[in-house]
Structure 1
Amino acid sequence: MQAFEFEINAKRNLIEIPPQYKKIYSKHMKVILLVSEKLITKKQQYDFSDVVGKLEWQGDAVQEQRNIRDEW
């Protein structure tokens, strides 16, 4: 299998093969896409703004951390 490399901007979800590669027009090919910018694939994070300030800690936070460490 031969490899040809070129950069091009997709137009309307189409990628045109440049004319200098016309010998591969209408041929079977395997296409590998490399996109330069990172695509957003994270799930949308939960917005906690509706619960901010509604919970209050009762107790000594430092002491609780020490208790948790002692459990190990």
Structure 2
Amino acid sequence: MVEVKMEVFQLTTTVNSSGHLVLDIPTQLSPGPVNIVLVLSSSVASKVPNQNYDFSDLAGRLNWRGDAVAMERALRDEW
């Protein structure tokens, strides 16, 4: 049986002017190969203002006449 040791880190660092992210993180892991999962997220807020998008061009609208609940019950009773 292989013992798997894992450590989880959350830190804020910077990307240098050449676009490289350099990490120097001390660990308690044994020397040797390691698997790394890295998720990058910008810590600077987006400069694009939050706009309320109008989805009306993507979806239709149903003009219902009648009692929607009664129709739902009638359809359910058919099952």
TM-score, with normalisation over the residues of structure 2? Answer: 0.37
- Per residue, is there more helix in 1 or in 2? 1
